[in-house]
Amino acid sequence: MSASLQNIKIAVDAVVFGYRENKLYVLLIQQKFGSQNTYWALPGGLVQEDESLLEAVKRELKEETNVSVNYLEQLYTFGDDISRDPRNRVISVAYFALVDPSKLTLIADTDADHVSWVEIDKIPNLAFDHDEIVNRAIKRLKNKLTYQPIGFDLLPNKFMFSDLENLYTTIIAKDIDRRNFRKKMMSFGFITETDEFADKKSGRPAKLYTFNTAEYKRLEKEGIHFEIKLV
């Protein structure tokens, strides 16, 4: 069998989730591909010769959206569809991240004409196979919420407990026994009640809580078993 020269490009794509006002969002960009129409797509691009995959996805996010993310988790590799990109044979390594949108300032740059947070249930048809990438990321997010406390990355540093409850019910799309949920969450020992109250215009003032990252990491080393079951 004769050897042939490969002409396969490697790309990275980022699914960045944000959460606000009881709604889950994903970060999307608008861009033009040559003379084609403008498309919505995930932030991402080709990996450069001198950088790792993680360096590439962080660079693309910063260049196209002005977003810097501390933690990105590798999601999946997309390439079985050899025509997923009509321009070249491209294999994409997708990552996903969770952020608090209120801490970020979006700026479209490089090959992105526009950048925006888009509600999950209002995502337009995306370029390439990015719809498939987003759907896989949503499934990963829903599953991980039940066995790892990643939801706190979507909340402000100080939050009402009802915000945490609403986050779970919104993303997992299931009802919750709020009394048992609160009891279970507080039993882990990594949620700290502060002396501060939320600035509510009406109703009973609600206390604010924080996620104690250092305590969670300590408990994680000791083998903490985090599991949340919803109704």
Q: Could you read off the pLDDT tens digit of each residue along the chain, which spans 231 residues?
A: 455 778 888 999 999 999 999 999 999 999 766 555 678 999 999 999 999 999 999 999 999 999 999 889 999 999 777 767 777 788 899 999 999 999 899 988 877 789 999 999 999 999 889 999 999 999 999 999 999 999 999 999 999 999 999 999 999 988 888 899 999 999 999 999 999 998 866 667 889 999 999 999 999 999 999 998 776
Closest CA to 118 of 217, 222, 5, 27: 27
Strands (E) located in the chain: 8-20, 23-32, 38-41, 44-46, 73-78, 89-99, 114-119, 159-160, 191-197, 207-211
Q: Which residues of 60-84 are buried (b: 16+ CB within 10 A; e: fewer)?
A: bbbbbbebebeebeebeebbeeeeb
pTM: 0.90
